[in-house]
Structure 1
Amino acid sequence: MILGIDYGEKKTGLAVWYPENDIVLPRKTIHHTSDKQLISFLKKTVEEDDIQEIVLGKPIGLSGNETDQTRKTLEFKKELEKSISIPVHLTDERLSTKQAQVFFDEKQTADEDSLAACVILETYIDKKSHQ
């Protein structure tokens, strides 16, 4: 299984790809007060759910430039990689939240951050399958 992450400083959306069914499903958004708290939760998730890879959305400005959030995400990736032993991949997350809003209306039970994580993960899987 692959875990998709839409990282945020206070809340982070999660999604999981189930290869046996080839489906990506949202998980709950994690509300956290620190990266340390989030990483602790993710370590537990990786172990309990037998996650083999992580895909982390990399925020990039619409013009293709790095932003403050890009730098924060890259720092988070470094800290996460120190704590787990599975690969952590980055994928462009531009417009993932907008895509989630288009595909799912506000009446959906999953929240915007987890739906954005679904888009991030599906983008990665699509690119990987075409290589």
Structure 2
Amino acid sequence: MRVLAIDYGQKRVGLAISDRLGITAQPYKTIINESREELIEELAEIIKKNDITEVVIGLPLHMNGTEGERAEKSRILATELEDALNISVFLQDERLSSAEVEKVMLAGDLSRAKRRAKRDKLAASIILRTYLANRKGGN
């Protein structure tokens, strides 16, 4: 069982994939988000190529737990993926994942350009790690 995590952004979409046992999360790639149709096509190819059995999309909630426009867009993408690809899609609270990624990258002394190139797929890996831990009953 492999899980694909998506950090869905207006310009870039970060992806991470679990190992076959659903234990670890590895950053996979970043996709430039040019259109919803192209994004779904590319995700379909990735899902097929990597034997993905479920998808988790980061749900960008406000710090007080309420949803805004970005959360609604993530919910729409989840529904579209379920319908188009006949796959289970879950939403995972992604609050603070971007801040955690920035902290790690700054500690690693990465340049601004390198941080920009890695930010989205690292955020997806944090979303996936959190989802896998919650599913297993972890913290």
Taking structure 2 as the reference length, the TM-score comes to 0.87
Contact 1:9 1:34 in 2 (8 A): no
Instruction: State whether structure 2 residue 125 is matched by structure 1 residue 118.
Output: yes
Asked if 1:71 corresponds to 2:72, the answer is yes
2:29–2:121 Cα contact (<8 Å) kept: yes
In structure 1, what is the Cα distance between the partners aligned to 2:132 and 2:61? 19
Structure whose residues are more often helix by fraction: 2
Question: Tell me, what secondary structure is at the counterpart of 2:90?
Answer: strand
TM-score, length-scaled by structure 1: 0.91
For structure 2, which runs of at least 5 residues remain unmatched after alignment? Answer: none
CA contact (8 A) 1:9 1:35 kept: no
| Structure 1 unmatched ranges of 5 or more | none
**Contact in 2 for aligned 1:57/1:90 (Cα 8 Å):** yes
Q: Shift of residue 104 of structure 1?
A: 3.0
Q: Secondary structure at the match of 1:111?
A: helix
Match of 1:100 in 2: 101
The corresponding residue for 1:46 is 47
Asked whether the equivalents of residues 9 and 33 of structure 2 are also in contact (C-alpha less than 8 Å), the reply is: no
Q: Distance in 2 between matches of 1:42 and 1:127?
A: 24
Q: How many residues align?
A: 131
**Quick check: 95-104 or 116-125, which moved more?**
95-104
Instruction: Percent identity, please.
Output: 35
Query: 1:12 corresponds to which residue?
Result: 13
Q: Distance in 2 between matches of 1:21 and 1:2?
A: 7
Counterpart of 2:53, as a letter, is: Q
